[in-house]
Amino acid sequence: MRHIRQRIGDEAFRVLLQDHLQQQKGTTQPLDLTLGKGDGQWHRVTLQTIGGELSTQAAKRIAETAEAANAQIRIDLHHGLLLYSRKPLQLPQQLQEFVNRPRIVACPGNRTCRNGLVDCLQAAARLSAALKDDANLENKTIAISGCPNHCAHSPVADIGLAGRLKTIDGQRQEAFQVLLGGDNGRSAKLGEPMETVLAAELCCKVSEILVQFR
Q: Report pLDDT digits (tens) over 166-208.
A: 999 999 999 999 999 999 989 999 999 999 999 999 999 898 8
Q: What is the mean pLDDT of the chain?
A: 90
SS3 200: helix
Residue 153's alpha-carbon distances to 100, 103, 124, 194, 198, in angstroms, are: 22, 14, 15, 16, 20
Strand order in the sheet with 141-145: 103-106, 141-145, 159-168, 171-180, 192-198
Q: Among 20-29, 92-101, 181-190, whose mean pLDDT is lowest?
A: 20-29
CA dihedral 157, 146, 113, 79 (to 10 degrees): -40
CB 85 within 8 A of CB 108: no
Q: How confident is the model at residue 37 (pLDDT cuts 50, 70, 90)?
A: low
Q: Given a cut of 70, is residue 213 above it in pLDDT?
A: no
CB 56 within 8 A of CB 13: no
pLDDT of residue 33: 66
Q: Which of 15, 83, 5 is nearest to 48 (CA)?
A: 83
Q: Model pTM greater than 0.85?
A: no
pLDDT above 90 covers a percentage of the chain that reads 71
pLDDT above 70 covers a percentage of the chain that reads 95
Q: Given a cut of 90, is residue 97 above it in pLDDT?
A: yes
SS3 83: strand
pLDDT digits (tens, 9 = 90+) for 145-156: 999 999 999 999
In the chain, domain spans = 43-98, 103-213
Q: Topology of 103-213 in CATH? A: Sulfite Reductase Hemoprotein; domain 1 (3.30.413)
| Surface-to-core class of residue 89, CB atoms within 10 Å of its CB (0-12 exposed, 13-18 middle, 19+ buried) | middle
pLDDT digits (tens, 9 = 90+) for 121-153: 999 999 999 999 888 888 899 999 999 999 999
6 vs 182 pLDDT, higher one = 182
- What is the average per-residue pLDDT within 74-81? 93
pLDDT of residue 55: 92
